């Protein structure tokens, strides 16, 4: 890989990735974007979706529920509220994640209820796109 950058993805539970990548696709709150080496620096909030990194070993993908991304010319750091490697996203793990989000939605009020409702809907849709039964949770 001629032009590469450092990609780090961290959730409160663990470090999910710390690899060299040629590009990272990120589900930004204002729209999806791709960061590449030399990219102008900025910060973005995340919406639920998949973070995908192109590495010399192929694509690495992670489901995130939200968080923040910092892009610099040298790399990308993603701080995820919750994150799961796509290859670890079993039906059981998806059901637990969706159940947690639904509990948070049920406990929320006002604008927080609106935000958590959107998050549940986006994760449900993403689960279906990944071939998971979103009605099981």
For domain 5-86, the question of CATH label 2.60.15.10 is answered with: yes
Res 134: pLDDT: 77
Record the tokens describing residue 22, joined without a space. 């040629």
Q: Are strands 75-80 and 67-71 parallel, antiparallel or unpaired?
A: antiparallel
Q: Strand pairing partners for 55? A: 58
Query: What's 59-72 look like in SS3?
Result: EEEEEECCEEEEEC
pLDDT reported for residue 45: 97
Does position 8 have pLDDT exceeding 70, yes or no? yes
CB 47 within 8 A of CB 66: yes
| Contacts for 86 with CB less than 8 Å, ≥ 6 apart | 50, 61, 62, 63, 130
Rounded Cα distance between 121 and 132, Å, is 14
pLDDT in tens, 88-123: 999 999 999 999 999 999 999 988 888 889 889 999
d(CA 55, CA 23): 8
pLDDT of 73: 83
What are residue 90's phi and psi, to 5 degrees?
-80, 170
- Kindly report, as residue ranges, where domains of CATH 2.60.15.10 are found in the chain: 5-86
Which candidate, 72, 52, 68, 127, places its Cα nearest to that of 97? 127
């Amino acid at each position: 890989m001629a032009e590469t950058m450092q990609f780090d993805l961290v959730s409160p539970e663990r470090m999910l990735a710390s690899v060299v990548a040629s590009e990272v696709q990120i589900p930004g709150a204002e729209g999806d974007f791709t960061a590449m080496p030399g990219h102008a620096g900025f910060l973005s909030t995340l919406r639920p979706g998949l973070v995908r990194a192109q590495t010399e070993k192929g694509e690495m993908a992670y489901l995130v529920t939200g968080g923040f991304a910092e892009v610099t010319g040298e790399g990308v750091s993603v701080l995820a509220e919750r994150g799961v490697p796509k290859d670890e996203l079993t039906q059981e793990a998806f059901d637990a994640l969706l159940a947690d989000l639904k509990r948070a939605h049920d406990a929320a009020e006002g604008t927080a209820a609106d935000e958590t409702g959107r998050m549940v809907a986006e994760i449900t849709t993403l689960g279906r796109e990944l071939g998971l039964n979103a009605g099981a949770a």
